[in-house]
Structure 1
């Protein structure tokens, strides 16, 4: 039997994450503060990179004068930090390496308004192409560093477990309750006691401690609150409409040193990447605010349904590129400094208003209600439906929980 060999040509495509591509992605998703730190690191390593820092000044949002004109606006009255801004400061304080920072940012993007992760670590690891152990390691550090305790929890049981551990109350009785939250919700403490071999009185004492924990540590943050640092973009209304520009006072300018020397090619490549980042940020910001002109004119109650895929299609960009650009990016408007990511909101139902607009209207209704006769979820649903978009009571309850608004019986003024 003869053996024969054959030469064949096969063409395949594969994308490799080179050093340049990794740097480009990092620059693309960096906010002004993060990009400034990155440029300082690069300038320290490469003497051919010259940074010219903007004039030092304390950032005072130009919309502060609007408080005197309309102090009742909910979007301006919110003074607390947003969950996004708080989490970004936690990540910054950890001083992670680039690989860990990439994981931390992905975990931050997976956070729900409750403060829990909306996606399991395994899904995050698969998306990033890293091991689950690496994601778990960063997640553990975030859980230990983040305040209030319970942020970045995998689920309700994990959230309560983190708080019990911090309080030094994670004893056998507490573990038994956390392992059987389904039975606890039905009030079957005696059954839990039998299965765990514990005294029911001991479990009831543990349950009393458990009720003092916060099941949704992320709900106390303002969803649209202004960041405490300078915004990346500035939106102003001109004669031809709304114009978006870069906030130049938030970024140093970059140039190449005169003369010759090693590192000039790297310096020019860095400048090119920054110019690409700024151009992409401007185009994405302009497209978002063009679609949300009604919100700029009338407030967050006029938010229109909008997805990252729609913005990406309009600009010829991939949805993931839009996601990277808006991560942690803020825009200063006459109505406040908003996170770009918070302006993405889907319609509650096909053809109806956006979920963000409904949540804003819900917050206004609750703020204006009679404290002695608060509106029930059913009454709130009827009031929201007057705009021509029927909404279910359970949807109102979900939005109310996202806004950290208690039910009617807890909002009623006590004598």
Structure 2
């Protein structure tokens, strides 16, 4: 009898753990919707919606605009919905699509090479590239999941049916704008100077960062954060705001009301409540580990942000990297340097050499250099790379150009202001 009871207890614990992992993969809004739908058919389940207060700074208009932004889909949610058909197929295809989504930067570009994803699954890079092509054709707006500025612009041109041999030639030589002008592109490509100017005019009408429209910065700053990091007697401490997550309770059973249906409803409600408690505990474990790993950021700001991958947090907390990604998606943390998205604290390494530097750290240094440059003599990508090297950051000219583009700065030739 005792062995049978132990088996039932073990099976129950396994079910609750599986349920909690399923809930953990949901966003706060997805979880709320799921619980409310369940409560409609289970009268014993009582659901309290999360309280999403807004930080109203100036006026009622600000509040209304913030609420509209809060309701809009994030980039992560948008592309997941757009690629629902591919994800529903399951198997390796769905896992590769999930990996591509995880590596999507706020700009809409991929933030990791395909070789890394291929290595994760032990498959050829060409296989990942074929899935990427499929994803790029399925998702809107065009340009999402691009690996470079040229690819981002080409995808948009293809959708508009404006890709011809001359345009492709100009796209392939955009780097010449950094060191010269349209005439250099004309000489290199054999395209007439006037046609090169027409191509450049068409390119300027495109969106180099198609993902940015899904993440208005003011929306993140005006919503109450999910947690706050404050300095305590033993270092940085995390204070979690419980009201940012939905909660459940169990209704009292009327006396004498007993049936198999009621017993099943009570069992479901108890299992969900226990699973939700486990989800909350897991979320706090991941966020607490994130804060421990990025203490330097809370001390000094973005320039001190260490490289940190989802896989690092996954190994430290015992969860899968994709689960960690879902936990941090949309999660806001308030610290001494303002409100920041938790995913923004997971920045991969951008340089190697005497020490790795995170992409966010390098981009913060680049922004400082670009903001203080002489408009009459803007810094070239080669000069930016040299200045970063003087700061101990080893970065190629090509990567300096990529991060400069991600920051929204045009090539030096287009930034120059003549007196």
Q: Secondary structure at the match of 1:369?
A: coil
Q: Which has the higher helix share?
A: 2
Number of corresponding residues: 358
Matches within 5 A, 1:81-230: 86-88=74-76, 90=78, 107-112=100-105, 115-117=108-110, 142-143=139-140, 146=141, 149-152=142-145, 159-160=152-153, 163-164=156-157, 169-170=160-161, 174=163, 207=199, 210-214=202-206, 216-218=208-210, 225=217, 227=220, 229-230=223-224
Q: What's the TM-score once normalised by structure 2's chain length?
A: 0.67
Change (3 A) 1:111 1:391: closer
Deviation at 1:278?
1.2
Matches within 5 A, 1:357-396: 357-396=361-400
Equivalent pair of 1:163/1:213 in contact (CA under 8 Å)? no
**Superposed CA offset, 1:234-272 (max 9, x none):** 322223322223322222321122215232212222122
Deviation at 1:349?
0.6
Q: Distance in 1 between matches of 2:108 and 2:415?
A: 23
Which residue does 2:295 correspond to in 1? 293
Equivalent pair of 1:31/1:329 in contact (CA under 8 Å)? no
Q: Secondary structure at the match of 1:304?
A: coil
Which residue does 1:330 correspond to in 2? 332
**Superposed CA offset, 1:381-408 (max 9, x none):** 3332333344443332232122222222
Change (3 A) 1:115 1:256: same
Q: Distance in 1 between matches of 2:54 and 2:197?
A: 50
Which residue does 2:30 correspond to in 1? 34
Which residue does 1:47 correspond to in 2? 43
Equivalent pair of 2:350/2:357 in contact (CA under 8 Å)? yes
Deviation at 1:152?
4.2
Equivalent pair of 1:50/1:256 in contact (CA under 8 Å)? yes
Which residue does 1:71 correspond to in 2? none
Equivalent pair of 2:350/2:356 in contact (CA under 8 Å)? yes
Q: Distance in 1 between matches of 2:29 and 2:233?
A: 31
**Superposed CA offset, 1:198-230 (max 9, x none):** xx9998798467424436334757999462644
What 5-or-longer segments of structure 2 have no aligned partner?
A: 1-13, 59-68, 122-128, 175-184
Equivalent pair of 1:29/1:326 in contact (CA under 8 Å)? no
Aligned partner (choices 285, 296, 304) of residue 302 of structure 1: 304
Q: Distance in 1 between matches of 2:400 and 2:226?
A: 34
Which residue does 1:15 correspond to in 2? none
Change (3 A) 1:217 1:316: closer
Q: What's the TM-score once normalised by structure 1's chain length?
A: 0.67
Q: Distance in 1 between matches of 2:156 and 2:113?
A: 21
**Superposed CA offset, 1:125-147 (max 9, x none):** x97xxxx999999876641xx4x
Change (3 A) 1:267 1:285: same
Q: Which moved more, 1:226-235 or 1:100-109?
A: 100-109
What 5-or-longer segments of structure 1 have no aligned partner?
A: 1-17, 66-80, 193-199
